[in-house]
Structure 1
């Protein structure tokens, strides 16, 4: 990234822009942390619905989510360099939301397993992309705090999943509604699209002067007194 832009971002104070970005990061990572514990909490119900299941199969189904996550992290990190972090991040959010929500309607364990992999691919891409944006835009004195706070979303998601699973399975005797919550981020996509900035590095690479101006003006309305975008690009 251009040194002038790096200095501008690193030297400023933590602002409302950063607060919104951290909150959005916590929100998205919370939903990625929801999936694995949710699965573990409904295993007894899966045995009731699909009587021919065994523990080996359930272990395989559970691991597919992790394999999907690994694959998603690798693929999304690479393609974000070409298409931009924001575009890829929004796509991965849609993938993990649809994959998670669709598990509630899986007719067989095999379809359920495939959907686990798809959801895993999505949230595997979300985490590194969110952390990348936070590392890029947070002031130097707040980078580690911003990243650590966002990662707390994983624990929040696990806690929420446990409570939701306990309530749903005991009150309704069903496991499928546990995955309905996976659709919530899709409903908030307009807000995510509006709030989430594109990577400044990506905009510099593509000489997107207007895009940089829009983002920097959100960070500091008086940015022009500190940096000349036209000279930096």
Structure 2
């Protein structure tokens, strides 16, 4: 006989096993993340070929890298706010459509200024998609496994870059650099109908909108319609300026430290992704070897995200991620000493990706836990936006250093120092935020309410 006990909406999701329907939602979000990763890094895969074909200096490509990332910064902030206002699903679909169109028109660019323009448009969609697919996954995941599931979903981003790298290594010699963008724009168009058909709006977002019929339909697809008590979550303390809420109710320290960490880690990531192929070509390696070096970096990030996330659950988030950033700095420094030795280049890029970029991805996954549902897409959007400032600075910094005649070993030592900076801020998060969160664990015994206990003062 079924239990007559009814649960509130949050408890329905948090207390039950993850259903097949939820897995499908997260898998499709991971597929979008893969396409985002492919298109975000596609410009790095083809940059050496465009530099050769157009007979331009490698350092002049810095603004091209930066324009796409600037678009990503603006897109993340705009689409993040729109996701909290209009819903995760429609804003995600619009973002995917935008970066798909941007990718398809990229081959028509015939100069650096036109390439800068189309990469900016593509970047708007690429950055705009991130807050929505992270929020969707987070809000269909039970709290006990949210960080793990978001991390697994976000592994689609470097996996897409890995697949894109190996595919580009085959496409470019056979069909030219334009074929990479045709593939990157066509695949999202093919996936969008499946996403529209099988992925509903976030059930937690629907709870804030008090849409009883839509929630009942989603819970029925999750095989738990009879468990919900029909009550909606209590209205959150929203303000007319959502950005101000990121710094209220104990969020300020965590928000600032998250922004600094993501800024530094994305600066390091895009520094490596965009300049490893160029430096590899200057060392005498072919285009396939140069692209595969970036693929090894992303393959390491994919593995690192899963392993570091598992270790963080057992040995402490700040301790594991901070140590990974620290050790990753050593591996990054070794990249500059690889020269034309493929084994050393592939090994050092894989380890650097596993440690430093894997740590960066774990930080992104944890960011989803930091904000309430009413603020999650905005919080993620601003975090991704701030991180994109670092992503813009990374390629530009690399171009400036190359233009100044800095040797590859010094170039990658600089990137290693940036990884150390990210380690410091993560350790600060552990000291100033996680310790405060741990102290709240004892509050229920002191009469503190459940709502107050879960107020996001840290993670």
TM-score scaled to structure 2, two decimals? 0.47
Paired residues of 2:208 and 2:232 also in contact (CA < 8 A): no
- Secondary structure of the residue aligned to 1:33 is helix
Secondary structure, aligned partner of 1:197: coil
In structure 1, the partner of 2:447 is none
Deviates further, 9-18 or 53-62: 53-62
1:144 aligns with 2:140: no
Q: Provide structure 2 residue ranges, at least 5 long, that are not aligned to the other structure.
A: 1-6, 234-459
In the TM superposition, residue 189 of structure 1 has moved relative to its aligned partner by 1.5
Which residue number in structure 1 is paired with residue 134 of structure 2? 131
86-95 or 56-65, which moves further after superposition? Answer: 56-65
- Residue 90 of structure 1 and its aligned partner are, at CA, apart by 0.6
Shift of 1:10: 0.5
Partner of 1:161: 164
Q: Give the Cα–Cα distance (whole angstroms) in 2 for the partners of residues 232 and 152 of structure 1.
A: 32
> Aligned pair count?
226
Candidates 34, 38, 41, aligned match of 1:34: 38
Higher relative contact order (CA 8 A, sep 6+): 1
CA RMSD of aligned residues (A): 1.8
Q: 1:131: Cα distance to partner?
A: 1.1
Q: Does 1:7 align with 2:11?
A: yes
Of the structure 1 ranges 98-107 and 27-36, higher mean CA displacement relative to structure 2 is found in 98-107
2:49 corresponds to: 45
Gaps of 5+ in 1: none
Residue 314 of structure 2 aligns with which residue? Answer: none
Q: Following TM superposition, by how much is the alpha carbon of 1:140 offset from its aligned partner in structure 2, in angstroms?
A: 2.4
**Whole-Å separation in 2 of the counterparts to 1:63 and 1:74:** 17
Task: Check the 8 A contact 1:67/1:117 in 2, yes or no.
Answer: yes
Do residues 177 (structure 1) and 179 (structure 2) align?
A: yes
For residue 207 of structure 1, give the secondary structure of its aligned residue in structure 2: coil
Question: 1:60-75 to 2 correspondence within 5 Å?
Answer: 60-75=63-78
Deviates more, 1:71-80 or 1:133-142: 133-142
Whole-angstrom CA distance in 2 between matches of 1:196 and 1:57: 42
> Which residue pairs with 2:201 in the alignment?
198
Shift of 1:104: 2.2
Q: Deviation digits for residues 13-36 of structure 1, max 9, x if unmatched?
A: 011012101211211111111124
1:82 pairs with 2:89: no
Q: CA deviation at 1:171?
A: 2.2
Q: What's 2:228 paired with?
A: 227
Verify the 8 A CA contact 2:210 2:232 in the aligned structure 1.
Answer: no
**Rounded Cα–Cα distance in structure 2 between residues aligned with 1:162 and 1:135:** 28
Using the alignment, how far apart are the partners of 2:181 and 2:139 within structure 1? 33
- Whether the 8 Å CA contact 1:104–1:178 is kept in 2: the answer is no
Q: Residue 23 of structure 2 is aligned with which of 5, 19, 23?
A: 19
Contact between 1:103 and 1:115, CA under 8 Å: does it hold in 2? Answer: yes
TM-score (normalised: structure 1): 0.89
Higher gyration radius (CA): 2
Counterpart contact for 2:95–2:125, Cα < 8 Å: yes
Q: Cα distance, 1:188 vs. partner?
A: 2.1
Q: Deviations over 1:44-79 (max 9, x none)?
A: 22123323x333431110111111111111111111
Whether the 8 Å CA contact 2:18–2:142 is kept in 1: the answer is yes
Indicate if the aligned counterparts of 2:51 and 2:58 stay in contact, CA closer than 8 A.
no
Q: Measure how far apart 1:210 and its partner are.
A: 1.5
